[in-house]
Amino acid sequence: MSEIASGKRETVDVAIVGAGPMGLVTALMCLRAGLKVAIYERQADFAGSPAWNGTGVLAPDCEADGADATIVDLGRRSIELWPTLIPGITLNGALVLGNRRQPTAIDDYSTFVLNYEWVDEERIAALEPALAAIYSRGMFFPQAAHADPRLMFTGLRDVLEAGGVRIRFEWVGTIDGLQAERIVDTRGLGARDRFPELRAVTAEMAQVRSHKVELSRPVRLLHNRHSLYVTPRGQGVYVIGATTVDDDRGGMSVRSAGELMTHAVSLLPAFADAEVLELRSGLMPVLMNGVPKVQVGERVIAVNGLYRYGWMVAPAIAEDLLRVIYTQATKVIHAHRPIRP
Ligand SMILES: Cc1cc2nc3c(=O)[nH]c(=O)nc-3n(C[C@H](O)[C@H](O)[C@H](O)COP(=O)(O)OP(=O)(O)OC[C@H]3O[C@@H](n4cnc5c(N)ncnc54)[C@H](O)[C@@H]3O)c2cc1C
């Protein structure tokens, strides 16, 4: 019988390695389930995770044009779970608009995505007055959410610390040496020893401030290369992104910086006068098919390959992991309802 099941405890029940979205959310779910948890992070702070520079768009239905159905399913379940974990998640939908130079692109896009309403000029103006008289046709995704990733990190840290969970930053130990009954390895790109097929893909974002623009939800203007949103952070701050560039250089290219700025101005010309606050990039962990993978071993459960969807899918994956921990299952069975026939 397992030590969790028998009630006999080692130092902690679950050691989480890696303090990115996957590690922190798993830790919180384990804590809420009554388990004793500790977190081990190699870096000195949360900025070691690419998610620190995330755009914070939680819009699985809008992403169904490029994402696997599993990701869409996990994302939809995660949107239900996020508000139960931390405050600060805004659930007021996302708007997708066609590019005026390619008017049929939105019709093509609509064949791939789910759970939307077509919106006309009047409805667009009601949802986002700043876009009135500029766009005559778009799609509204009511079940999309957004949040500020840096506040998600600090929000998760606060609830974890309030529950007595310690995050050990600058940790240099080995997974085998951890005193815990189960270990959850969420090291992202640090886990190439366990996932040899893991590769890095660069994503880039810009943060700007404009007091001339007022948007209240993520707005995606269809782009021929990237899935780009302009997302409000409050107080006139907007995040534009993210590009996805299939190489591991990690830094922001001149081309991408130009693309992000041009994109915001194409959406709304008033962005031309915005002040550039930040240009940031990060390396995301990707597996062969772009879908997250969970490896269940006797003691170590490893999760990786969250690609550009870490914030969007982490709660639903953590829910699955918790089930594995409690039932001693040898593989993950997704409990979520399939959303496609
Ligand atoms: C510009 C940009 C925009 C993005 N926008 C979004 C978005 O809008 N929505 C969304 O859902 N996702 C977004 N993402 C993707 C998101 O950041 C990733 O999917 C997410 O970071 C993956 O989470 P993870 O916890 O699996 O791994 P990571 O975030 O990579 O975390 C792994 C952690 O493990 C630590 N670590 C590594 N090795 C060790 C070791 N040996 N010991 C201890 N710790 C270790 C690392 O330092 C890191 O903190 C974006 C990413 C970028 C770069």
Q: Judge if the beta carbon of residue 186 lies within 6 A of ligand 1.
A: yes
* Strand ordering across the sheet containing 12-17: 166-168, 37-40, 12-17, 180-185, 300-304, 293-296
Convert the pLDDT of each residue in 1-14 to its tens digit.
444 444 444 489 99
pLDDT at 1: 41
Amino acid letter for position 318:
A
Q: Judge if the beta carbon of residue 51 lies within 6 A of ligand 1.
A: yes
If pLDDT is split at 50, 70 and 90, which confidence band does 340 have?
very low
Query: In what helix (H) or strand (E) does residue 21 lie, and over which residues does it extend?
Result: helix 21-32
Closest CA to 217 of 107, 59, 103: 59
Domains contained in the chain, CATH given = 11-92+145-196+289-341 (3.50.50.60), 94-142+199-286 (3.30.9.10)
pLDDT at 336: 62
Q: Judge if the beta carbon of residue 53 lies within 6 A of ligand 1.
A: yes
Q: Which atom of ligand 1 is nearest to the CA of 205?
A: 1
Convert the pLDDT of each residue in 74-94 to its tens digit.
999 999 999 999 999 999 999
Convert the pLDDT of each residue in 152-203 to its tens digit.
999 999 999 999 999 999 999 999 999 999 999 999 999 999 999 999 999 9
Ligand 1 centre to CA of 21 (Å) is 6
pLDDT at 225: 79
Amino acid letter for position 175:
I
Ligand 1 centre to CA of 5 (Å) is 32
Amino acid letter for position 199:
R
pLDDT at 2: 46
pLDDT at 224: 78
Instruction: Report pTM.
Output: 0.94
pLDDT at 204: 96
Check residues 247 and 258 and name the one with the higher pLDDT.
Answer: 258
Residue 31 has pLDDT above 70, yes or no: yes
- Closest C-alpha to ligand 1, atom 2: 54
pLDDT at 178: 96
Q: Judge if the beta carbon of residue 20 lies within 6 A of ligand 1.
A: yes
Residue 216 burial (CB count, 10 A): 16
Q: Which of 303, 311, 312, 313 to mutate to test the pocket of ligand 1 (most atoms within 8 A of CB)?
A: 311
- Closest C-alpha to ligand 1, atom 31: 20
- Closest C-alpha to ligand 1, atom 30: 188
Convert the pLDDT of each residue in 259-293 to its tens digit.
999 999 999 999 999 999 999 999 999 998 899 99
Q: How far is CA 277 from CA 156, 236, 237, 263, in A?
A: 25, 11, 9, 16
Q: Judge if the beta carbon of residue 218 lies within 6 A of ligand 1.
A: no
pLDDT at 248: 85
Q: For residues 219 and 217, what is the distance between their CA atoms, to the nearest angstrom?
A: 6
Q: How far is CA 322 from CA 13, 71, 153, 329, 331, in A?
A: 12, 18, 20, 10, 12
Lowest mean pLDDT among 40-54, 70-84, 89-103, 324-338: 324-338
If pLDDT is split at 50, 70 and 90, which confidence band does 116 have?
very high
DSSP bridge pairs for 202: 245, 283
Convert the pLDDT of each residue in 193-215 to its tens digit.
999 999 999 999 999 999 999 99
The chain-wide mean pLDDT, for the chain, equals 93
